[in-house]
Amino acid sequence: MKLTREDQEILNGKHGKAAKKSMEILITLGEIFDAEDMVDVVGVQIAGVSYDNLGEAGLEFLSEMADDGKVKVLTTLNPAGMDRENWQVLGIDKEFAYNQNRAIEAFAKMGIITTCSCTPYLIGNSPHYGQHLAWAESSAVCYANSVIGARTNREGGPSALASALTGKTPRYGYHLDENRHGEVLVNVNVSVTGTDEFGVLGKIIGDRLGDLGKKIPYIAGMSSATIEELKSFSASVATYGGAALFHMENITPECDKYPKPHEIVFDIGQVDLDKARSELIDDDGEIDFVSIGCPHASIHEIATIAKLLEGKRIKKEFWITTARPTKKIADEAGFSKIIEDAGAKFAADTCCVVAPIKGRFKGMMVDSAKACYYGRAKNKFKIKIGSIEECIEEALK
């Protein structure tokens, strides 16, 4: 790889041990993927934050890097295994909380902003079109590449941290124009609305991409999409199809930049939506847990939940998972009080997938196709997808 003088100095240890180790990690990665050089990144988002994922080995690596490592660019974290303020109310055990806090402290020591969220783009880690990033959370990577038109590969925990400590990433993959064009044309011949339905659409397209061995869909036929719908779609198409980028005609910023694909085409109609939705509902599932906020809920979604819960009382465990800064806005706006008076709980900094809740519930209802996937695969819950309104109806039953 061609290294600049600065890259070389970092490699020689002039910027400290952690930066040197980071540059070694990035060069190894760059050589594997034939990157010509490094590119400067404007922001980093680190995943694998839950102590459940890190374990003692991960914590040891972090502590070593935190010895003299300091971030060079704005860096935030993916959800942790617990709400950092409200973990006892959510039933998290003391030992887990102690270990999770040790991990967060190591991140903080390096100058990382310890907001733990999979929607960094909603809370200030907000790149603009064409900027290079090193983000790790799959849904955020897909959103950044597609909806914002920024450029990031899907980083692992160590490579994202290495980028944070050097401000660089190897230039390959989605950082290059040649790897960003649509490969499969998807004609959507049905109206799609709501976060749940966009998640279902993401599942259909993701499943097909997996079968085709392709990664970048060009989606035609959508009339509009909200930020919340696009975040749900990004999470779902990344989960089911490993997609890190999609183009949506008339909606995403690079939709006209590359030729529209025409060699592989498939259509989606109402029958496909109904079939995919039925695959995300377990018939025999008794629901005892409802969760909204995968990816983390926006203030707009929280406002909707507050409106639907006002003056009511829920009967099931109900979490709203969000970023702490969004929760603070909800507090100030009075939404949190309405929601908590109704008996629902905020789970800031965490989510229904990364929190250690396996075995605590039988069935989970969500508005997110991604949460359905992990609810089944990781937590062994029965699952049911529905709109935000349907989720709230279920919690009230």
Contact residues toward ligand F3S (CB under 6 A) are 78-79, 118, 139, 235, 294-296, 321, 351, 353-354, 370-371, 374
Q: Which amino acid is at 313?
A: R
Nearer to ligand F3S, 166 or 379 (CB): 379
CA–CA separation, 93 and 19 (whole Å): 35
Report the alpha-carbon distance of residue 39 to residue 267 in Å, rounded: 38
> Which of 77, 392 has the CB closer to ligand F3S?
77
Q: Minimum distance from CB of 354 to ligand F3S (Å)? A: 6
> From the CB of 13, what's the least distance to ligand F3S, in Å?
35
Q: What DSSP string describes 299-351?
A: HHHHHHHHHHHTT----SEEEEEE-HHHHHHHHHHTHHHHHHHTT-EEEET--
Closest among 164, 173, 106, 158 to 134, alpha carbons compared: 164
CB of 4 to ligand F3S, least distance (A): 34
Nearer to ligand F3S, 132 or 370 (CB): 370
Shortest distance, position 15 Cβ to ligand F3S, whole Å: 31
Least CB distance to ligand F3S at residue 140 (A): 8
**What are residue 76's DSSP bridge partners?**
45, 113
> What is the closest distance, in whole angstroms, from the C-beta atom of residue 137 to ligand F3S in the complex?
6
Coil/strand/helix, residue 384: strand
Nearer to ligand F3S, 19 or 353 (CB): 353
Query: Three-class SS of residue 9?
Result: helix
Nearer to ligand F3S, 38 or 235 (CB): 235
Residue whose CB is less far from ligand F3S, 204 or 351: 351
Least distance from ligand F3S to the Cβ atom of residue 238, Å: 9
Rounded CA gap, 237 and 392, in Å?
A: 25
Q: How far is the CB of 2 from ligand F3S (least distance, A)?
A: 36
CB of 143 or CB of 218, closer to ligand F3S: 143
* Nearest-approach distance from CB 203 to ligand F3S, in angstroms: 14
Q: Which residue has the tokens 């970023």?
A: 323
Closest to 163 in 3D by CA, of 325, 327, 38, 261: 38
The alpha-helical segments, DSSP class H, found in the chain are 5-11, 17-32, 51-66, 94-109, 138-143, 157-166, 195-212, 227-241, 270-278, 299-309, 324-333, 335-341, 369-377, 388-396
Q: Is the dihedral of CA 271, 272, 273, 277 positive or negative?
A: positive
Q: Which is nearer to ligand F3S, 7 or 301 (CB)?
A: 301
Cα separation, 1 vs 278, whole angstroms:
49
Q: Return the closest-CA partner of residue 135 out of 151, 123, 122.
A: 151
The CA distance from 353 to 378, in Å, is 8
Question: Judged by CB, which is closer to ligand F3S: 84, or 296?
Answer: 296
The single-letter DSSP state of residue 379 is T
State the nearest-atom distance from the C-beta of 319 to ligand F3S, in Å. 10
Closer Cβ to ligand F3S, 32 or 377, answer by number: 377
Residue 35 · residue 1 · CB < 8 Å? yes
Token pair of 368, please?
């997110």
